[in-house]
Amino acid sequence: MVKIDALAYVVAESTDVAKWKQFGEEVLGVATTEAPDGGLYLKMDERKYRIAIVKGEQDRYFASGWEVASPVAFKAAIAALEQAGVKVSPGTPQQSKARCVQELASFTDPSGNLHELSWGFTTDFARFISPVGVEGFVTGEHGVGHTVLPAVEFDATWTLFRDVLGFNLSDIFRHKFTPDPNEPVKRIYFTHCANPRHHSLALFEMAMPSGCVHIMIEVPSMDEVGRAYDRMLKAGVKLMATLGRHVNDRMTSFYMNTPSNFALEYGYGGLMVDWEQHQAFESTAVSLWGHDFTVGFK
Taking the complex as a whole, the smallest distance from the CB of residue 253 to Fe ion amounts, in Å, to 7
Please answer whether residues 44 and 137 qualify as being in contact, where contact means their C-beta atoms are separated by less than 8 angstroms: yes
Parallel, antiparallel or unpaired: strands 51-55 and 39-43: antiparallel
Beta strands (DSSP E) in 73-165 are 89-90, 101-108, 114-121, 146-150
Closer residue to Fe ion (CB): 29 or 145: 145
Helix (H) or strand (E) run with residue 79 in it: helix 71-83
Taking the complex as a whole, the smallest distance from the CB of residue 233 to Fe ion amounts, in Å, to 21
- State the Cα–Cα distance between residues 168 and 114, nearest whole angstrom: 20
Closer residue to Fe ion (CB): 80 or 217: 217
Q: By the criterion CB under 5 A, which residues form the site for Fe ion? A: 216, 265
Cα angle: 222, vertex 279, 271; to 5 degrees: 10
CB closest to Fe ion, residue no: 216
Closer residue to Fe ion (CB): 208 or 216: 216
Closer residue to Fe ion (CB): 103 or 265: 265
Taking the complex as a whole, the smallest distance from the CB of residue 258 to Fe ion amounts, in Å, to 14
Closer residue to Fe ion (CB): 145 or 259: 145
Q: How far is CA 127 from CA 31, 72, 135, 277, in A?
A: 10, 30, 11, 35
- State the Cα–Cα distance between residues 272 and 282, nearest whole angstrom: 18
Taking the complex as a whole, the smallest distance from the CB of residue 41 to Fe ion amounts, in Å, to 23
Taking the complex as a whole, the smallest distance from the CB of residue 23 to Fe ion amounts, in Å, to 18
Compute and round to an integer the Cα radius of gyration of the chain.
Answer: 18
